[in-house]
Structure 1
Amino acid sequence: MSPQSASPARLRAVEVSGDASAVEGPLRGYHHETYVVPLPGATGAADGARWKCREPRSGLLWFDRRCFVSEEQLLRALQGRITDVPDVFEVGGLPLQRFVEGRTLGSLHGAGRAVPLGFTRQIVRLFGEMAAVTARTLPVERRCSSEDRPADGDTDGFMERLVCFTEQRVYRENLPRFGSLYTALGLDGDVFGCLRKHVAGLRERPFCLLHADLHRENIIVDADRRLWTIDWELAMVGDPLYDLATHLHLMRYPAGQGPRVAEQWSRAVEAVRPGGTRGWREDLERIVGYKRAQSVFTDVVREAVSLGRDARSAGPRVGAAAARLHAVLTGAARPLGLESVPGPAEIGTALVRWGRAHPDAEGPLPGTL
């Protein structure tokens, strides 16, 4: 790649490493353009450590609220408190995360497959360690507004702010572009009233640190079978049960394993944060319902944009996207109060109609932060 064609992110990686031939990447990722570089003078250089140099991608839709100003600042604060999170090293004022050598849990045990007991024990330990970290004991600058910081234990207030973000920043701000598609799928503003009723009346639980995106691709298995937790960008302080619900929703454990992990979670969290699991059996499915509903609005956008030009006529890709959206809508029908869900053929027709009306469908997603 010539210097003229290199992206700013790659140029920064070459500048940091001092050796263009040693730069690896870009790595696969949605929010950032990321490269891996060696740093001869950095901590850990003797054991062959490499570091991630990354830049945010422009023009993206953020589907989740962000709480902390800096992921690297958070990781520094978690050293010694959370087992196996990446180190942070600074070069010329630029904070870099250590690249964890290994494979993602998802590449070893894909969605729907059982996760080995030794790994689930480490995941449960992580939940226990996070439960011990509170806002008062976490000296990290936060970017979220005062509205998005409900009083400790106000689980209803915490959930309301999440619903508000989905309604305002994911749904309403994208109505000019995706409104016709949402309407064709039966998704109007009334569904948020149903969603609020679905999650209302949660039991109070003391807040703690949440990863909020703990799934198989954010867990790295190293050569010693230790699990490293990466991508803390969506971390927040809130209801510990929300983190479990998010984890179960994203992990796609096989039948039987999810409930066992939930039971283990309850013991680990309660041991270090008394009251942190209060009413969890009654509230868990309601919060999982919110996660399913949230997925509807994000997946509709993702599927429509990812089809690009293929969205303008029926075909295999449209059919596959319609089938995926049908499954997502069916899973969220109850929390969204949907009396009926359009079939795959009807969804495919809606996608094609939308694609023809939006010839720029393959363009970048709008950013909303």
Structure 2
Amino acid sequence: MSPETASIARLRAVEVSGDQSLVEGPLQGYHHETYVFSLPGGTGTAGPIRCKCREPRTNLLWFDRRCFASEEQLLRALAGRIPHVPDIIEVSDLGLQRFIEGRTLGASHASGRPVPEPFVRQIIGLFGQLVRVTPQNLSVERRCATEDQPLDGDTDGFLERLVCFAEQRVYLENSKQFGELFAELGVGEEAFKHLRAYVSGLSSRPFCLLHADLHRENFIIDAQARLWTIDWELAMFGDPLYDLATHLYLMGYPGRQASTMIEQWCRTVEAVRPGSANGWHHDLRRLIGFKKAQSVFTDVIRMALSLEAGPTADGHRTARVAVKLRRVLAEAVVPLGLDSVPSRNHITTALERWLRDRMCGPGGAER
């Protein structure tokens, strides 16, 4: 990569490391371009200290609300409070995250497969630590608007703001490009009315810190079989049951292990902070339903854009995406109040029409 085309993250990594041959990357990742390097002269108990530099990728659509001003600020504040999170290495005027050596949980235990019990215990322990951290005892700069900071225990208000974000920042702001595609898939603005009715009336639970993105690729297994939790960028304060719902939705636990996970989570958070599992029998299903509904709006856009970036004449690829979208739509029928799930052929045709309009404009006129 020439200096003219090098990214800010790579240039910064080369500058700090002092040797561009020691810089690894970019690492695989959707939202960021990330490079890893060893600090010059820096050695820890396990060998050279390795850090990462990253920058947000340009021209990406972001579908998740950011609540803290800086992930690095949050990690500094969590040092000594949440075990096994990346620490921050101060280099000149930069705060760099230490790179956690190991493999992801998903690399050895893919979605749908059971998670070994030692790792389950560590995940449950993490949830226990999270409910100890509250807006009152963690002082970190927040970027979210005042209306996105509901009063402690206002779980309805907390979820309403997430519904608003999905409606305004994901659906409406992208309606010019994707509105017709959503309409062909049977998803319109009225879906949000159904979603609000579906999730209303949640029990009150005391707010705590949420990671909000606990899936298998955000857990790193190190050489001592310790589970490290990375990527805290989506962290927020809010309903602890929402964090469990997000975790269950993203992890893909087999049925029996999911039930065990719920039981252990309830016991743990209630022992640490009573009231954290209030109403879970009634609310967990609805919070998972919200996650399924949320995925419709993000996945339709992401999958459509993935087709635009690939070979435009690849009918097999379009059909595969249609199968995935049909599954996503089927999962969200109840929370979104959908009349039916379109067939795979219908979805394929809708995607092909969307692609054609993107290339040529409505009506097929060459742009």
Q: TM-score, structure 1 length as denominator?
A: 0.95
Q: Could you tell me which residue of structure 1 aligns to residue 109 of structure 2?
A: 109
Matches within 5 A, 1:1-369: 1-42=1-42, 44=44, 47-308=47-308, 312-313=312-313, 315-359=315-359
Q: Which amino acid aligns with 1:359?
A: M
| CA RMSD, Structure 1 to Structure 2 (Å) | 1.5
3-state secondary structure, aligned to 2:36: strand
3-state secondary structure, aligned to 1:338: coil
Give the C-alpha shift of residue 312 in structure 1.
4.6
Rounded Cα–Cα distance in structure 1 between residues aligned with 2:310 and 2:34: 28
3-state secondary structure, aligned to 2:82: coil
Q: Could you tell me which residue of structure 2 aligns to residue 367 of structure 1?
A: none
Give the C-alpha shift of residue 273 in structure 1.
1.1
Q: Is the 8 A contact 2:295 2:328 kept in 1?
A: yes
**Farther-moved stretch of structure 1 (215-224 vs 251-260):** 251-260
1:18-41 per-position Cα deviation (integer Å, ceiling 9, x unaligned)? 011110110111111100011135
3-state secondary structure, aligned to 1:256: helix
3-state secondary structure, aligned to 2:55: strand
Give the C-alpha shift of residue 16 in structure 1.
1.0
Rounded Cα–Cα distance in structure 2 between residues aligned with 1:350 and 1:311: 17
Q: Judging changes above 3 Å, is the alpha-carbon distance between structure 1 residues 238 and 42 closer, same or farther for their aligned structure 2 residues?
A: farther
Q: Which amino acid aligns with 1:122?
A: Q
Give the C-alpha shift of residue 313 in structure 1.
4.5
Rounded Cα–Cα distance in structure 1 between residues aligned with 2:22 and 2:351: 43
Rounded Cα–Cα distance in structure 1 between residues aligned with 2:360 and 2:130: 43
Give the C-alpha shift of residue 10 in structure 1.
1.1
Identity fraction in percent: 63
Rounded Cα–Cα distance in structure 1 between residues aligned with 2:3 and 2:188: 48
Rounded Cα–Cα distance in structure 1 between residues aligned with 2:44 and 2:196: 49
Give the C-alpha shift of residue 90 in structure 1.
1.8
Rounded Cα–Cα distance in structure 2 between residues aligned with 1:43 and 1:285: 48
Q: Judging changes above 3 Å, is the alpha-carbon distance between structure 1 residues 351 and 42 closer, same or farther for their aligned structure 2 residues?
A: same
Rounded Cα–Cα distance in structure 2 between residues aligned with 1:42 and 1:329: 50
Q: Is the 8 A contact 1:311 1:355 kept in 2?
A: no
Q: Is the 8 A contact 2:18 2:40 kept in 1?
A: no
Give the C-alpha shift of residue 339 in structure 1.
1.7
3-state secondary structure, aligned to 1:284: helix
Q: Is the 8 A contact 2:17 2:39 kept in 1?
A: yes
**Farther-moved stretch of structure 1 (9-18 vs 183-192):** 9-18
Q: Is the 8 A contact 2:270 2:277 kept in 1?
A: yes
Give the C-alpha shift of residue 256 in structure 1.
1.1
Q: Which amino acid aligns with 2:220?
A: I
Rounded Cα–Cα distance in structure 1 between residues aligned with 2:360 and 2:80: 48
Rounded Cα–Cα distance in structure 2 between residues aligned with 1:70 and 1:149: 17
Q: TM-score, structure 2 length as denominator?
A: 0.96
Higher relative CO (Cα under 8 Å, sequence separation at least 6) belongs to: 1
Q: Is the 8 A contact 1:199 1:287 kept in 2?
A: yes
1:113-135 per-position Cα deviation (integer Å, ceiling 9, x unaligned)? 11000101100000000000000
Q: How many residues align?
A: 361
3-state secondary structure, aligned to 1:136: coil
Give the C-alpha shift of residue 4 in structure 1.
3.2
Q: Which amino acid aligns with 2:58?
A: S
Q: Which amino acid aligns with 2:192?
A: F
1:230-264 per-position Cα deviation (integer Å, ceiling 9, x unaligned)? 00000000000000000000001112111110111
Rounded Cα–Cα distance in structure 2 between residues aligned with 1:9 and 1:275: 43
**Farther-moved stretch of structure 1 (38-47 vs 60-69):** 38-47
1:181-202 per-position Cα deviation (integer Å, ceiling 9, x unaligned)? 0000011100000000000000
Q: Is the 8 A contact 1:63 1:298 kept in 2?
A: yes
**Farther-moved stretch of structure 1 (98-107 vs 249-258):** 249-258
